[in-house]
Amino acid sequence: MKKILIVGISLLSISMVKAQSSGSASSEPIFKPFKVDVAFGGAIPSGSGAKGGVLFAVEPKYAVMDQLAVGLRVEAALTARGFVSSDGTSAQADVKASGSYLATGDYYFSNNSFRPFAGAGAGIFTLAAASVSGSADGGAAGLGASSKFGGMVRAGFEVWHFRLGIEYNLIPSTKITGDDGSGGTYSVTSKNSYLGLKAGFFFGGGRNK
């Protein structure tokens, strides 16, 4: 997970350097700098026993140059997280919403009407409390609300004011332990990362001319 995030941020950094070197020779920006993305889509959590759901995101952005935009992604994803017990059995938690607040950066490979992009981000993911059903301990496991630092990598394209993309949200796993009622202990691990498939539109950001 960390390697994927490092590679994504490294590629974005290289793109930023190239954009700065090419942008210094340009004059007036082609696109208006401020825009707001609004997106809907599906959320596919990782891990055994997980169940997909839906997501909604809003992301205000500012283009520091035509090919590079920075922003703040605020997202809510409604999924059932998958859990694996210490004995190898899988379980499913309640359907709950998780939120995220990420600083983001996108690099655009074209200044034409069709604009493919790649991006990355990092920030805080908030995970709601949930109880586990179908586990070997008979459903006694429970998970409190928590916040974790994580990252995101993505790619997609924009056409006029329409945006389509795929994102992978990298969130550290959660592990809980408890008393199994017979003098022993059990542990349950949840993989919190999820894949987001998004379609949406944006306000602003159109051409200056």
pLDDT tens for each residue of 87-138: 666 655 666 778 999 999 999 999 998 999 999 999 999 988 766 655 444 4
Radius of gyration of the chain (CA): 20
CA–CA distances in Å: residue 134 to residues 32, 61, 191: 52, 43, 17
pLDDT at 127: 87
pLDDT at 88: 61
pLDDT at 24: 45
Nearest to 12 by CA among 106, 134, 126: 106
pLDDT at 136: 44
The single-letter DSSP state of residue 7 is: H
pLDDT at 40: 96
Q: Measured in Å, how far apart are the chain's first and last C-alpha atoms?
A: 42
pLDDT at 76: 95
pLDDT at 190: 77
Query: How many CB atoms are located within 10 Å of the residue 89 CB?
Result: 15
User: What CATH number labels 2-17+32-79+98-128+144-172+194-201?
Assistant: 2.40.160.20
pLDDT at 197: 96
pLDDT at 1: 53
pLDDT at 139: 46
Along the 209 residues of the chain, how does pLDDT read in single tens digits?
Answer: 555 555 555 555 555 555 555 544 456 788 899 999 999 999 998 877 778 889 999 999 999 999 999 999 999 998 877 777 666 666 556 667 789 999 999 999 999 989 999 999 999 999 887 666 554 444 445 666 789 999 999 999 999 899 999 999 999 988 777 655 666 666 777 788 999 999 999 999 888 87
